[in-house]
Amino acid sequence: MATQTPLSQSPLIIALDYPSLDAALCMADQLDPTRCRVKVGKELFTRSGPAVLEALHGRGFEVFLDLKFHDIPNTVASAVQAAAEQGVWMVNVHAGGGRKMMQAAAERLQAQRLQTHLIAVTVLTSMSAEDLGEVGVASSLAEQVERLARLAQDSGMEGVVCSAQEAKALNACCGKEFLKVTPGIRPSFAAANDQQRIMTPSAAMQAGSTYLVVGRPVTEAPDPMAALAAIETELTEH
Ligand SMILES: O=c1ccn([C@@H]2O[C@H](COP(=O)(O)O)[C@@H](O)[C@H]2O)c(=O)[nH]1
């Protein structure tokens, strides 16, 4: 399969965290696929299935399927293959699934000549140092993110999901080409909600994020398109 030219030069990925296909498409119809990508997560995919991918692809969007696969290697490799065969632009697994799991997924894409970007989640942006300690990780948050990012890179991942707070350190240890996909983006006008490790859009780009994942600051704003425009303005002015 030939490498595709990216549709959008924007780093923005809008998280379509909606409970129905109709609600997600209502938002997608206000967005421009040349100005952002979209993300389909667990809620929307569980409710609407592959139909949502077809509908978004039909509207010209590049789609990040954020299902964070975490299972035995063969199961994850097959799930990643299934996602890639549906034409998604990006898919992810949990780095905590380990080297064999990540390698199996990467090798499957390669064997099938599928071009979908494969990345791994390090430590969820909703987690604090205290949360990490509670699940038995003794190292600091920064150390754990770096350990998982290095393992992900070594296992054939093209990048990681991390918070923008870790982007600078990961640029130093894994290089600038290694993708840093960062949720927990909060413009000054937005609430943190359940996110613990947050940054504004402009600070995240300055820190070295490759892509910014933005959900509720846009989707739950009184005027979503005005919120998106404010983020775009912030990004162009910095
Ligand atoms: O560590 C992670 C991994 C994934 N996410 C997802 O990103 C969006 C963020 O949405 P907001 O509304 O902007 O908080 C959401 O779909 C998460 O599932 C994440 O936040 N952190």
CATH number of the domain residue 233 falls in: 3.20.20.70
Q: Is residue 1 part of a domain?
A: no
Q: Which atom of ligand 1 is nearest to the CA of 194?
A: 14
Q: Is residue 197 part of a domain?
A: yes
Task: Tell me how many domains the chain contains.
Answer: 1
pLDDT at 91 > cutoff 80: yes
Residue nearest to atom 13 of ligand 1 (CA): 215
According to DSSP, the residues that pair with 64 across neighbouring strands are: 39, 90
Residues 117-139: what's their mean pLDDT? 98
pLDDT for position 5: 63
* 69 appears as a binding residue in the annotation: yes
Regarding the beta carbon of 214 and ligand 1, being less than 6 Å apart is answered yes
Complex-level ipTM: 0.99
**C-alpha triplet 23, 57, 21: angle, nearest 5°:** 20
As separate numbers, helices (DSSP H) first and strands (DSSP E) second, the chain gives 11, 8
* 125 appears as a binding residue in the annotation: yes
Residues 102-119: what's their mean pLDDT? 98
Residues 115 and 85: beta-carbon distance below 8 Å: no
Q: Is residue 6 part of a domain?
A: no
* 185 appears as a binding residue in the annotation: no
Q: How far is the CA of 158 from the centre of ligand 1 (A)?
A: 19
Q: Is residue 96 part of a domain?
A: yes
What DSSP character marks residue 171? H
Distance CA 112, CA 145 (A): 30
SS3 content of the chain, % helix, strand, coil (to 5): 45, 15, 40
pLDDT for position 130: 98
Regarding the beta carbon of 213 and ligand 1, being less than 6 Å apart is answered yes
pLDDT tens digit sequence for 12-70: 999 999 999 999 999 999 999 999 999 999 999 999 999 999 999 999 999 999 999 99
pLDDT for position 238: 77
CA 96, 97, 102, 108 torsion: positive or negative?
negative
Q: Is residue 62 part of a domain?
A: yes
Q: Is residue 2 part of a domain?
A: no
Distance CA 88, CA 85 (A): 8
Residue nearest to atom 16 of ligand 1 (CA): 15
Q: How far is the CA of 39 from the centre of ligand 1 (A)?
A: 10
Q: Is residue 4 part of a domain?
A: no
Mean per-residue pLDDT of the chain: 97
Distance CA 177, CA 232 (A): 23
What DSSP character marks residue 164? G
Residue nearest to atom 3 of ligand 1 (CA): 124
Q: Which domain holds residue 76?
A: 12-237
Report the percent of the chain where pLDDT is more than 90: 96
The number of residues making up the chain comes to 238
According to DSSP, the residues that pair with 214 across neighbouring strands are: 14
Q: Which positions are annotated as active-site residues?
A: 66, 68, 71
Tokens of 126: 């909703």
With cut-offs at 50, 70 and 90, classify the pLDDT of residue 4.
low
pLDDT for position 169: 98
Q: What does pTM read for this prediction?
A: 0.97
Compute how many other C-beta atoms are within 10 angstroms of the C-beta atom of residue 72: 11
pLDDT for position 2: 42
